[in-house]
Amino acid sequence: MNLTANAQAGFLSSFGYAPTGVWSAPGRANLIGEHTDYNNGFVLPFGINFRTYAAVSLRTDRICKVVSEIDSRVYEISLDDPKPTGLDWALYPLGVAWVMRDKATSGFDCYITSDVPIGAGLSSSAAIESSMASALNELWGAGLSRKELALIGQQAENQVVGAPTGIMDQTASMMAQNDAAVLIDCQSLEITVVDLGLSKHDLVVAVIDTQVSHSHAHGGYGSRRTSCEVGAKELGVSSLRELSLSDLPRAQSQLDDETFRRVRHIITENQRVLDTLIALREGHLASLGRLLLESHASMRDDFEISVAELDLAVETAMATGAIGARMTGGGFGGAAIAIIHKDKLAELANNCELAFAKAGFKAPRVFSVTPSEGAKREL
């Protein structure tokens, strides 16, 4: 049974009638550009072929109910309630509804199923938000654009869930296209579709899910964001986007060491995203690989968001013949990505399993992802 049918069947079982429709949205992998989004910088993510499906029907009252395949409990809020709290994963879809409540015509019933790995840095949360926002936009006749729906997903995550994330994940989930990455200028929200061109070289994007779960609603992510805000303020700019490589000597002289290293990551990462566009456009695979490795080193040493499992994943991928590899996502766990020949995927999985076992780590999950389209109605 496919996931659209799963969502239909789950809705019928949970609520006793058939849903009006099923909407889906992809998780995302970020090729390069980490923690640059909330600094108004550049990111280059793509939608992946793992999606979240939301089966939804409107109710006649103002109650919103959600249930999922992995949690049969029914979570509910009223659109007239104050901001929802304490609803576990259900804060993501119900947070979207709460943010959109001024567009609401009624409450709804919703059943959610997904094959996006949770806690792997592949943005399972944005996939939930984007599928929910797409469904409500249509059912409520809200008439909002994809960019506006992405902003609603971000507001739900920031204001309701309490995770200080930027706009990248939701924009990627809403705007993704097949066989391409999406360059997002997080200052203007301008979108540029970028052909990856990997398949013509028989290359795939491998994901090495370390099985180390992370959460953006806690500690490390927020402290990094605060460091960036402090650095921008001390350097007299509204965001680190306004700075370039030529500003690094001044930053080093004005900032304490830790804040400087946080700022250096953002400035150099923005430049790496722009350099990656050139490498992709000109087909310079060696340059692309070098940029991915430099990005990982910057996140490990300057931003300090990698963990031993992620470092080992990158090292193992390179030893297996990847052209480049880096951790992806917010850090402190999750996944690394590697660009590698499709015939080496099984060897990579085996090598990672052996390396992780030798280090005493939990066995990783290794699989390839295909750049796939953004949020859509399935049924």
Tokens 């923690």 locate to 35
Measured between alpha carbons, how far is residue 78 from residues 111, 114, 346 in Å?
17, 25, 49
User: Domain locations in the chain?
Assistant: 3-193, 196-369
The string of pLDDT tens digits covering residues 177-216 is: 998 999 999 999 899 999 998 988 999 999 999 999 876 6
Q: Does domain 3-193 have CATH number 3.30.230.10?
A: yes
**pLDDT score of 320:** 98
Distance between CA atoms of residues 255 and 263, nearest Å: 9
| Average confidence score pLDDT of the chain | 95
**pLDDT score of 1:** 64
Helix orientation angle between 146-155 and 168-175, rounded to the nearest 10 degrees: 140
**pLDDT score of 38:** 94
For residues 24 and 375, the answer to whether their CB atoms sit within 8 Å is yes
**pLDDT score of 215:** 65
The pTM (predicted TM-score) of the whole model is 0.91
Q: Copy the structure tokens of residue 9.
A: 């069947």
Measured between alpha carbons, how far is residue 120 from residues 117, 202, 329, 331 in Å?
6, 25, 8, 10
Q: Please state which CATH class domain 196-369 belongs to.
A: alpha beta
The string of pLDDT tens digits covering residues 79-131 is: 999 999 999 999 999 999 999 999 999 999 999 999 998 878 789 999 999 99
For residues 259 and 227, the answer to whether their CB atoms sit within 8 Å is yes
pLDDT over 80 at 319, yes or no: yes
**pLDDT score of 216:** 62
Q: Tell which wins on pLDDT, 295 or 215.
A: 295
The string of pLDDT tens digits covering residues 219-242 is: 788 899 999 999 999 999 999 999
For residues 325 and 318, the answer to whether their CB atoms sit within 8 Å is yes
Tokens 């340059």 locate to 287
**pLDDT score of 199:** 87
**pLDDT score of 218:** 61
Share of the chain above pLDDT 70, in %: 99
Distance between CA atoms of residues 319 and 197, nearest Å: 23
Distance between CA atoms of residues 101 and 362, nearest Å: 42
Q: Catalytic residue positions?
A: 169
pLDDT over 70 at 173, yes or no: yes
Distance between CA atoms of residues 42 and 69, nearest Å: 35
